[in-house]
Amino acid sequence: MTAAPRIGVLALQGGVREHLDVLRGLGADAAPVRRAQELRGLDGLVIPGGESSVVDKLSRHFGLADPLRAAIAGGLPVYGTCAGLILLADRLEDAAPGQRSFGGLDATVRRNAFGGQRDSFETDLVMPAVSEQPVRAVFIRAPVVLAVGADVEVLGALPDGEIVAVRQGRLLGTSFHPEVTADHRMHAYFLRELVGWRHEGDAHAPGAGR
């Protein structure tokens, strides 16, 4: 891929603007997605953090849930952060009553695994597949991956072994919020490895592509 990729950011709730800013800063043609027809022609999609049960309800209300499931099943590269990881998981623990996910990622994810807002924290994650240097990660009411299928690659885990970053083919999920830091390597990894496009400023170094 030589032209700038068209990347949508699901814009029903959550940190939409921050993801748009990062993607545009890396050279992608990024736009919010609120309607099913806006999924057409995308090279990739980001599902931002927020409240997963609210995004689930709104996606059904606006007729986006089934088109999203179809796009994921059809191979659209998708990166889910925090609530987005929950929405990509095939199996949920501690889900809200009646909550559904879009699915596609062969993983079991627990919502709010680290507690509430006041239990938020930051750390550096060793993620060799993403970068030679640790990646800065911010956890805000974050989920955790409890179990993964045979085809899921674990990209990052906390020192106690809790899984917080995974990839399965064209699906990428992280428990943390890369859009709120100056470290844009997760977005660059998504564009490079899943979408198949590399910005000329992309490098495996902190803040690359800023």
Positions marked active-site: 82, 177, 179
Nearest-angstrom CA–CA distance, 190 and 28: 11
CA angle 45, 140, 81 (to 5 degrees): 15
